[in-house]
């Protein structure tokens, strides 16, 4: 079961708890996908999704970004669909703050 919280800035946050789990998953969904494209910009949503994994401000290369995620026992992925693009990370529970830091840095400072 999910709990939905809407922040003051309009961001909707869904949370769920699995007490015996050793890891956490964080998924950011953005309302961007092929549905919003036309003939001139077809494929741009998927292209941009890939660009977020090329590096960030704190980890400026794809190699550094992968190293920090995998070095903390996690993995990350992205998907582009018709209506949404998702960015997710799965990381050990004790590394939750690091997982949030990584995902936010990727999205806010690609």
Q: Catalogue the active-site residues.
A: 49
Distance of CA 6 to the CA centre of its chain: 18
Strands of 1-110 (E only): list them.
3-6, 12-15, 23-30, 75-80, 85-92
Question: Do residues 37 and 48 lie in contact, with contact meaning Cβ atoms separated by under 8 Å?
Answer: no
Residues 6+ apart with CB under 8 A from 72: 91, 92, 95, 98, 99, 102
Residues 6+ apart with CB under 8 A from 31: 83, 84
């Amino acid at each position: 079961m999910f709990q939905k919280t809407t922040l003051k800035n309009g961001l909707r946050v869904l949370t769920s708890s699995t007490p015996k789990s050793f890891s956490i998953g964080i998924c950011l969904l953005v309302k961007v996908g092929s549905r919003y494209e036309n003939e001139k910009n077809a494929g741009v949503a998927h292209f941009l999704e890939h660009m977020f994994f090329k590096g960030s401000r704190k980890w400026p290369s794809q190699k550094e970004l992968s190293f920090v995620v995998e070095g903390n026992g996690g993995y990350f992925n992205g998907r582009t669909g018709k209506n949404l693009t998702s960015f997710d990370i799965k990381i050990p529970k004790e590394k939750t703050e690091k997982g949030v830091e990584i995902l936010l840095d990727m999205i806010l400072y690609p």
